[in-house]
Amino acid sequence: MRRAAAELKAAGVVSIAVCYLFAFMNPAHEGRTGALIREIFPDAHISLSSEVLSRVREWPRMSATLLNAYLAPVLVTYIADLEKRLNAAGVTTQQRFLMQSNGGVVSAEKAASEPVTTMSAPSGMAKTCGNSPLVLMA
C-alpha cells in the first residue's frame, strides 16, 4: 500500500478513493489503508467508502466514494476561494453554509470533507438565484 501511495503521489494524483467489499460491516481495513496513504501522501484527498456511504451494496457505495474523491479537490478550492471573496467583500458571520444536493444546508468545513453531498448545489443555486450569489449564514 505504501508503494502504491508513493506511485500515485509521483504520478500527480491528488485524490484517492478506497472501497473494500465489506467495509460497511467493518471499516477498520479501510481506515488502516487511509492511514497508510496519509503517511506517504499527507496532502491527498482520501475518500473511504465506509465514511462516505456506509451501507450494504458495493456499487452505490463505490460510485458515491468515487464521486466524492473526484469532487474533493474542486470543491475544496471552490470553498476556499468563496471564503476569501466573502471576507474581502466584508461579509461577516459566525458560520457559513452551502446548499446540499438534498436541499438542506451544510457548513463549509463539512462540505469540503464530504463533497458528494453538495454535488448538485452550484447548479441549483444558479437556477435559483440567477447572477446573484447566494450564501446562507447563521
User: Would you say 48 and 18 are in contact if contact means Cβ atoms under 8 Å apart?
Assistant: yes
Burial of 59 (C-beta count, 10 Å sphere; 0-12/13-18/19+): exposed
How do residues 78-90 score in pLDDT, each as one tens digit?
889 988 998 999 9
User: For 16, phi and psi rounded to 5 degrees?
Assistant: -130, 135
How do residues 37-55 score in pLDDT, each as one tens digit?
999 999 999 999 999 888 8
User: Would you say 48 and 75 are in contact if contact means Cβ atoms under 8 Å apart?
Assistant: no
Amino acid at residue number 101: S
Residue 119: predicted pLDDT: 66
Assigned C-alpha cell, 19: 472501497
**Which parts of the chain sit beneath pLDDT 70?**
119-138
